[in-house]
Amino acid sequence: MRIIVFGLTIACLVSMVACTSTRYSNSDGMTNDKSLGDLLRWGFGREKPEPVQIDLSTDYKSYNLYSPEPYLIWIGHATFLLNTGDARVLFDPVFSDRASPFSMVGPKRIIPPAMDISELPNVHLVLISHNHYDHLDQRSLIELKKNNPEAKFLVPKGDKALLTGMGIENVFEFNWWESIAVRNLELTFTPAQHWSSRGLFDRNHSLWGSWFVRDANHSFFHAGDTGYSRDFVEIREKLGDVDYAMIPIGAYDPRWFMSYQHVNPEEAVTIAKDIGADVSFGMHWGTFILTDEPIMEPKQRLERAAYAEGVDFRVPVPGEVNKIN
């Protein structure tokens, strides 16, 4: 039974081993080249970490989510709600129990979303970094479209058809460095070092990346999923320093398998320095068990690394309202 379950989980993680021609690649011209043998070597010998639950906050329940004052709420994994005052932006919304195409198999949440999807304020923009199941969740997107019929959905190049196939309109897709102006925001799709796939035969058929969002007073950066690269230096050179950054800190072990696609906490601190972030928030940890590091390790390592480098890099509590100054 364990072998069967692992085999189906492989189908969710998929695409690290799909044997199709590559359509998109990273800025260094490379792609994740791990083989099926590598995946099996990791998967059959691994011991999953204990599913420790991180704390949640109900801070948002006593806050006016329609406030004109800017704020940022981590809902879990890579999902953030940003209110700029002029617009409410939702990054990588995943509210389902599993990051999987299957209802019974695949990575399962160890904490619920800090906010239920029904508790969200009206959303103007939904931004997707790439099409992996822990970042692009069909059930969540359909519900968001139902609750926010005027919302615009911004996706990487190659993913528009996926959303229109769900019945979602107002979908706009982007290559790296392409921008759109909406509700006094300028939103630019920027590079990240990763890959894409939803199945066995679509590896890298759509793009992946990060988002740089700017209004008259602040700039925000959501890194999506990424390994470390020089992309972040280039983002700063082209778009300027970042006021508030959301950067992944988890899903990094074993390094021989994960290093090209997922940063560790020390590399996350380097990204914060590369993009000139005033304040950074850690994400992509404590929600799903995707890799081998202990649940609390990303937070602990990040705190040590940020202190050593003198970087303001915070680990928010899901549901906590982080006010933007």
Backbone angles phi, psi at 283, to 5 degrees: -145, -175
Q: Is residue 208's pLDDT more than 60?
A: yes
CATH fold for domain 2-18+36-323 = Metallo-beta-lactamase; Chain A (3.60.15)
Question: What are the boundaries of each domain within the chain?
Answer: 2-18+36-323
Return the pLDDT at 18.
Answer: 41
Q: Is residue 246's pLDDT more than 50?
A: yes
Whether 213 and 186 have beta carbons less than 8 Å apart is answered as yes
Return the pLDDT at 153.
Answer: 98
CA–CA dist 181, 177 (Å, integer): 13
Q: Is residue 21's pLDDT more than 80?
A: no
CA–CA dist 228, 276 (Å, integer): 15
CA–CA dist 228, 219 (Å, integer): 21
Q: Is residue 10's pLDDT more than 60?
A: no
Return the pLDDT at 31.
Answer: 83
Q: Give 16's DSSP letter.
A: G
Return the pLDDT at 184.
Answer: 97
Interval 236-262 mean pLDDT: 97
CA–CA dist 183, 259 (Å, integer): 37
Residue 19's pLDDT band (boundaries 50, 70, 90)? very low
Give me the amino acid identity at 43: G
Q: Is residue 11's pLDDT more than 70?
A: no
CA–CA dist 96, 49 (Å, integer): 21
How many residues are recorded in the chain?
325
CA–CA dist 262, 248 (Å, integer): 8
Write down the pTM of the prediction.
0.93
Q: Please give the C-alpha separations between residue 21 and each of 18, 200, 202, in angstroms, as whole numbers.
A: 9, 12, 9
Give the model confidence (pLDDT) of 282-301 as tens digits: 999 999 999 999 999 999 99
